[in-house]
């Protein structure tokens, strides 16, 4: 007879790792099956020559959700996991030569914006205060509780938030809110880019999402001491200390269930029995591959996918002191860029994100060099010819960065190497490869987009309504993608399991 407190978790991404810790603390015997050879999912790492790269997420906010895992286990977080707050969150660059370094502190952000853009300081301060208000009214409730449970809607805080819907900009889009409240076109573009944090379009995503900057400038942006991989590695090690069993290189073929009750998972030719199964696989692929006979929630699964990405990992043989850990080089026509993404293509002029962890993480690059994670938003993979698109995109990215970072030499005899000539190591990841390597349907980084008012309510719940004992977590289900929300997904799911 099975231990009634046994649980199998499918997938060792950060949500699965965090749920394993929470269930182990609650007394469950936990086994994690992972098709890859190690933990982390998107939060993994690799090396190219003398350069180390984090594979996926590069921004760390809400570190308290990681610290909480150690405290639940009776451990001191700083004994195992450390991070530093970034005084400057991001460096922004525009084609006309405008540069802006965004301080992490909201008051300093307002002052710096007033100086750079010539807007009243109070305008930005009011905007950030409104982002905080929206988060306090809705974020703590809707991000930390299961939306599909009646108890959530009977909560007095939820009722209070619902009464304030007219003031939450739920029925307008992010861009409209930014134009109304910020007015300056460069500030509008700067804050529009926060829609990409969940793979959405700022010209369609609801204005409520203008709360996102609050995460970065109130709670802060951080970098773990050893890079982003420290997050998943430290939580994995914590799980091991709690007795969690990990089965790497073992792919789950199917979720076994009978009648309306989960029985375990099929691995190879055997069924591994458990009374609780927690699926950290992309929910679309979970139904397609692991639950072939289950009734599919078509309305949920057929929602618009979030954006994907093309990522260039470059080992660069030079240091650029003008760059920070996070850098954004904006396109000149942001609206057109998102229109092209919506149409399944790439604009001629794209926004480029450059992350350089070697600015703070010792050993991520050799002396005199930097590890560049260069990302361009891309549409989900629906059959595009990436072999043709990528060389042209690479050329455009290099041209943009060369123009904005490296002034032309005064004379041919003094010519310095081009940026392309400084690249000594390279790896390129496309949406189809993201799908293959991470199990994200069509390479969508965040499951579904938030391009309509009801998107948050249409995400798949953290539990199955037709199979008792089956639960879902990760970026493709409630509350959404990104490291903090995946950690909250683990918290919600574990609380549902434990009851």
Cross-strand bridge partners of residue 377: 309
DSSP letter for 472, please: E
Residues 131 and 69 in one domain: no
Q: Is the pLDDT of residue 413 over 60?
A: no
Q: Is the pLDDT of residue 157 over 50?
A: yes
| pLDDT value at residue 261 | 97
List the CATH number of the domain containing 457: 3.50.50.60
pLDDT one-digit tens code per residue, 350-404: 999 999 999 999 999 999 999 999 999 999 999 999 999 999 999 999 999 999 9
Residue among 219, 209, 217, 220 nearest 112 (CA): 217
| pLDDT value at residue 146 | 74
Residue 444 lies in a domain: no
Residue 49 lies in a domain: no
Strands 352-355 and 326-329: antiparallel
Mean pLDDT of the chain: 93
Q: Is the pLDDT of residue 210 over 70?
A: yes
Task: From 399, 429, 459, give the residue that closes a domain.
Answer: 429
Residues 250 and 135 in one domain: no
In Å, how far from its chain's centre is CA 405? 27
In Å, how far from its chain's centre is CA 307? 11
Contact residues for 360 (Cβ-Cβ < 8 A; gap 6+): 84, 223, 325
Residue 442 lies in a domain: no
Residues 345 and 423 in one domain: yes
Q: What is the distance between the alpha carbons of residues 149 and 157, in angstroms, rounded to a whole number?
A: 15
| pLDDT value at residue 407 | 66
- Tokens representing 255? 């979720």
Q: Are 310 and 430 in contact (CB under 8 A)?
A: yes
| pLDDT value at residue 136 | 87
| pLDDT value at residue 412 | 55
Residue 277 lies in a domain: yes
Task: From 219, 239, 259, give the residue that closes a domain.
Answer: 219
| pLDDT value at residue 194 | 96
Residues 123 and 155 in one domain: yes
Q: Is the pLDDT of residue 300 over 90?
A: no
Strands 245-248 and 221-224: unpaired
| pLDDT value at residue 4 | 65
Q: Is the pLDDT of residue 112 over 50?
A: yes
Decide: helix, strand or coil at residue 168.
coil
Q: Which helix (H) or strand (E) is 60 found in, with range?
A: strand 60-61
Q: Is the pLDDT of residue 411 over 60?
A: no
Q: What is the distance between the alpha carbons of residues 410 and 217, in angstroms, rounded to a whole number?
A: 41
Residues 239 and 128 in one domain: no
Q: Is the pLDDT of residue 201 over 60?
A: yes
Q: What is the distance between the alpha carbons of residues 183 and 390, in angstroms, rounded to a whole number?
A: 35
Q: What is the distance between the alpha carbons of residues 86 and 351, in angstroms, rounded to a whole number?
A: 22
Burial of 301 (0-12, 13-18, 19+ CB in 10 A): middle
% residues pLDDT > 70 (the chain):
93
Strands 261-267 and 370-378: unpaired
Residues 144 and 261 in one domain: no
Residues 255 and 325 in one domain: no
Residue 438 lies in a domain: no
Q: Which of 4-8, 49-53, 312-316, 405-409 has the lowest mean pLDDT?
A: 405-409
| pLDDT value at residue 139 | 74
| pLDDT value at residue 445 | 93
Mean pLDDT across the stretch 316-335?
A: 97
Confidence of residue 138 (pLDDT cuts 50, 70, 90): confident
Confidence of residue 416 (pLDDT cuts 50, 70, 90): confident
Residue 436 lies in a domain: no
Q: Is the pLDDT of residue 455 over 80?
A: no
Q: What is the distance between the alpha carbons of residues 154 and 158, in angstroms, rounded to a whole number?
A: 7
Residue among 58, 46, 47 nearest 327 (CA): 58
Mean pLDDT across the stretch 201-229?
A: 95
| pLDDT value at residue 59 | 95
pLDDT one-digit tens code per residue, 395-404: 999 999 999 9
Distances (CA, A) of 138 to 62, 193, 299, 477, 484: 16, 21, 24, 18, 16
Q: How much is the pTM?
A: 0.94
Residue with tokens 């200390």: 241
The range of the structural domain enclosing residue 485 comes to: 6-44+57-82+226-301+449-498
Residue among 177, 54, 110, 186 nearest 483 (CA): 54
Q: Which of 69-73, 301-305, 407-411 has the lowest mean pLDDT?
A: 407-411
| pLDDT value at residue 454 | 72
Q: Does residue 4 come out as left (phi exceeding 0), alpha (psi in the -120 to 50 range) or beta?
A: alpha
Mean pLDDT across the stretch 419-433?
A: 97
Burial of 90 (0-12, 13-18, 19+ CB in 10 A): buried
Total domain count for the chain?
3
Task: From 165, 190, 219, give the residue that closes a domain.
Answer: 219
Mean pLDDT across the stretch 123-145?
A: 87
Residues 406 and 425 in one domain: yes
Residues 103 and 175 in one domain: yes
Residues 160 and 182 in one domain: yes
Residues 409 and 475 in one domain: no
Q: Which helix (H) or strand (E) is 106 found in, with range?
A: helix 106-117
Q: Which long-range contacts (CB under 8 A, 24 or more apart) does 468-472 make?
A: 468/260, 468/261, 468/262, 469/261, 469/262, 469/275, 469/276, 469/277, 470/255, 470/257, 470/262, 470/277, 470/279, 471/276, 471/277, 471/278, 471/279, 471/496, 471/497, 472/278, 472/279, 472/280, 472/283, 472/286
| Alpha-helical regions (H) of 225-315 | 229-241, 283-285, 298-301
Q: Is the pLDDT of residue 92 over 90?
A: yes
Confidence of residue 153 (pLDDT cuts 50, 70, 90): low
Q: Are 435 and 289 in contact (CB under 8 A)?
A: no
pLDDT one-digit tens code per residue, 270-296: 999 999 999 999 999 999 999 999 999
- Tokens representing 423? 């690249």
| pLDDT value at residue 409 | 47
Q: Which of 233-237, 247-251, 445-449 has the lowest mean pLDDT?
A: 445-449
Confidence of residue 151 (pLDDT cuts 50, 70, 90): low
Residue 114 lies in a domain: yes
Residue 39 lies in a domain: yes
DSSP letter for 242, please: T
Q: Is the pLDDT of residue 333 over 80?
A: yes
Contact residues for 321 (Cβ-Cβ < 8 A; gap 6+): none
Q: Is the pLDDT of residue 171 over 70?
A: yes
Q: How many CB atoms lie within 10 A of CB 76?
A: 10
% residues pLDDT > 90 (the chain):
84
| pLDDT value at residue 1 | 40
Q: Is the pLDDT of residue 2 over 80?
A: no
Residues 76 and 91 in one domain: no
Q: How many CB atoms lie within 10 A of CB 120?
A: 12
Q: What is the distance between the alpha carbons of residues 343 and 183, in angstroms, rounded to a whole number?
A: 28
Mean pLDDT across the stretch 37-46?
A: 96
Confidence of residue 115 (pLDDT cuts 50, 70, 90): very high
Mean pLDDT across the stretch 70-77?
A: 98
Q: Which of 136-145, 174-183, 243-252 has the lowest mean pLDDT?
A: 136-145
Contact residues for 351 (Cβ-Cβ < 8 A; gap 6+): 193, 328, 329, 330, 331, 334, 337, 376, 377
């Amino acid at each position: 007879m099975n231990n009634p407190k046994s649980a199998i978790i499918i997938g060792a991404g950060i949500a699965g790792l965090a749920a394993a810790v929470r269930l182990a603390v609650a007394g469950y015997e936990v086994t994690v099956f992972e098709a890859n050879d190690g933990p982390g999912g998107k939060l993994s790492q690799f090396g190219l020559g003398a350069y180390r790269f984090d594979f996926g997420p590069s921004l760390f906010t809400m570190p308290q959700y990681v610290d909480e895992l150690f405290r639940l286990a009776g451990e001191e977080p700083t004994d195992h996991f450390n991070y530093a707050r970034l005084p400057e969150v991001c460096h922004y660059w525009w084609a006309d030569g405008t540069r802006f370094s965004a301080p992490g502190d909201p008051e300093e952000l307002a002052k710096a914006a007033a100086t750079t853009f010539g807007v009243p300081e109070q305008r930005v301060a009011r905007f950030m205060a409104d982002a905080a208000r929206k988060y306090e009214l809705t974020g703590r409730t809707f991000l930390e509780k299961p939306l599909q449970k009646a108890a959530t809607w009977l909560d007095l805080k939820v009722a209070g938030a619902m009464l304030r819907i007219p003031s939450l900009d739920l029925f307008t889009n992010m861009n409209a809110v930014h134009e109304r409240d910020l007015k300056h076109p460069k500030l509008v573009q700067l804050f529009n880019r926060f829609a990409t944090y969940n793979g959405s379009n700022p010209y369609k995503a609801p204005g409520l999402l203008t709360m996102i900057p609050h995460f970065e400038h109130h709670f802060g942006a951080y970098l773990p001491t050893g890079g982003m991989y420290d997050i998943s590695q430290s939580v994995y090690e914590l799980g091991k200390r709690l007795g969690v069993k990990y089965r790497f290189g073992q792919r789950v073929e199917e979720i076994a269930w009978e009648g309306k009750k989960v029985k375990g998972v099929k691995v190879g030719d055997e069924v591994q029995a458990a009374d609780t199964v927690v699926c950290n696989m992309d929910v679309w692929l979970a139904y397609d591959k692991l639950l072939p006979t289950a009734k599919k929630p078509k309305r949920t699964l057929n929602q618009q996918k979030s954006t994907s990405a093309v990522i260039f990992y470059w080992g660069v043989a030079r240091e650029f002191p003008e760059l920070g850990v996070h850098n954004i080089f904006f396109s000149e026509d942001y609206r057109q860029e998102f229109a092209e993404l919506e149409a399944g293509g790439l604009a001629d002029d794209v926004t480029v994100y450059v992350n350089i962890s070697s600015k703070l993480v010792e050993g991520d690059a050799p002396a005199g060099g930097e590890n560049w994670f260069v990302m361009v938003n891309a549409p989900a993979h629906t059959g595009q010819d990436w072999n043709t698109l990528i060389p042209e995109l690479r050329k455009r990215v290099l041209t943009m960065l060369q123009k904005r970072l490296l002034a032309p030499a005064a004379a041919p005899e003094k010519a310095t190497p081009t940026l392309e000539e400084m690249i000594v190591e390279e790896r390129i990841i496309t949406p189809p490869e993201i799908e293959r390597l991470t199990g994200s349907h069509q390479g969508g980084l965040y499951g579904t987009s938030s391009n309509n008012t009801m998107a948050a309510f249409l995400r798949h719940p953290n539990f199955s309504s037709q199979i008792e004992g089956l639960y879902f977590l990760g970026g493709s289900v409630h509350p959404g993608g990104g490291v903090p929300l995946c950690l909250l997904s683990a918290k919600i799911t574990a609380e549902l399991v434990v009851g």
